[in-house]
Amino acid sequence: MRFHKSKKTKAGRNDPCPCGSGLKYKKCCLRKGDAGVPTFEGTRNLYYRKYKICLKSREDIEGIRKTGQLVTKTLDFVEEKIRPGMTTDEINTLVHEFTIRNNATPAPLNYRGYPKSTCVSVNEVICHGIPGDRVLKDGDIVNVDVTSVLKGYYADANKTFFVGTPGDDAKKIADIAKESMKVGISMVRPGNTIGDIGWAIQNCAEKRGGTVVREFVGHGVGFEFHEAPQVPHYGKRGDGIVMVPGMVFTIEPMINLGRKELYVMKDKWTAVTKDRSLSAQFEQTILVTESGFESLTPY
């Protein structure tokens, strides 16, 4: 999802709780179990009215979880097939046919004019690579991004795979990207903020020699392909919207081995590192639970 600037929100310990209870934040969502914590319906109405965030019910979560299981199975299926000599369009065919066989729909197909069923991003391609006649070579890295719709529910995940035998740079950037995603996910819990996620990812990536792409961010998901909130993969601790149970969003840091700058190719989709350095990405769909988080696309 392309980043769009919005008004910054931040809740201090003594500020009114964003959930609308009328209590101070430190005595409400920051401390679970206190009397006076608002109902789920109240919080859901408040978060939609204030942030356009659609909190998910137990029934919704189960639907997204089932879609997420299909998404991870699709990625596992693709991983088994990837080899030097195949084209990125062959990967698209694998994803498309597997999704249809499982009674689901590939969300990217025809989304805002996107012509394929998945995004396949090789080496210097950061994201939104359109599958075509590019042939995978030994030593390449390739990211495959899968979003499926099953019984009306969306789930979204991606992985970066090695093609044949990876070189040292390939292993390094893939490892940084995967660790950065995991560190970001570890910050998900009620009372933390969206900014905490980006802060943790940025610290992790930069300490290990990577750079964080700014132009594309995580996003809410479940009822639609892209929902509120936006989830930047950089930022300051304590900034942004306070997380509450029922929020579902992706965490999907794009990490470059060189500089963070990018350009978008003439197809208006494919984002490439400006210095042609390697880029890697990992993504999961994450639920904020009462006590922390659950991945709805676990791997």
| Per-10-residue mean pLDDT, the chain, length 299 | 51 62 63 57 94 98 98 98 98 98 98 98 98 98 98 98 98 98 98 98 98 98 98 97 98 98 98 98 98 97
Task: Supply the pLDDT for residue 22.
Answer: 61
The pLDDT value given to residue 14: 72
Q: How far is CA 253 from the centre of its chain?
A: 7
Given the DSSP bridges, would you call strands 227-231 and 218-220 parallel, antiparallel or unpaired? antiparallel
Query: Looking at residue 2, what is its pLDDT?
Result: 65
Distances (CA, A) of 88 to 118, 133, 244: 10, 6, 39
Cα-Cα-Cα-Cα dihedral sign, residues 175, 206, 191, 17: negative
Contact between 121 and 153 (Cβ < 8 Å): no
Give the per-residue pLDDT at 21.
57
Percentages of the chain per state (helix, strand, coil), in multiples of 5: 30, 25, 45
Output the pLDDT for position 8: 43
Residue 187 and residue 201: Cα distance in Å, rounded?
10
Q: How many CB atoms lie within 10 A of CB 89?
A: 15
Q: Name residue 79's amino acid.
A: E
Count of helices and strands (H, E) across the chain: 5, 15
Tokens of 176: 């940084």
Strand partners, 273: 262
User: Dihedral angle at the C-alpha atoms of 170, 139, 261, 254, nearest 10 degrees?
Assistant: -60
User: What SS3 state is found at 274?
Assistant: coil
**Does the pTM of the predicted model rise above 0.85?**
yes
The pLDDT score that the predictor gives to residue 1 is: 62
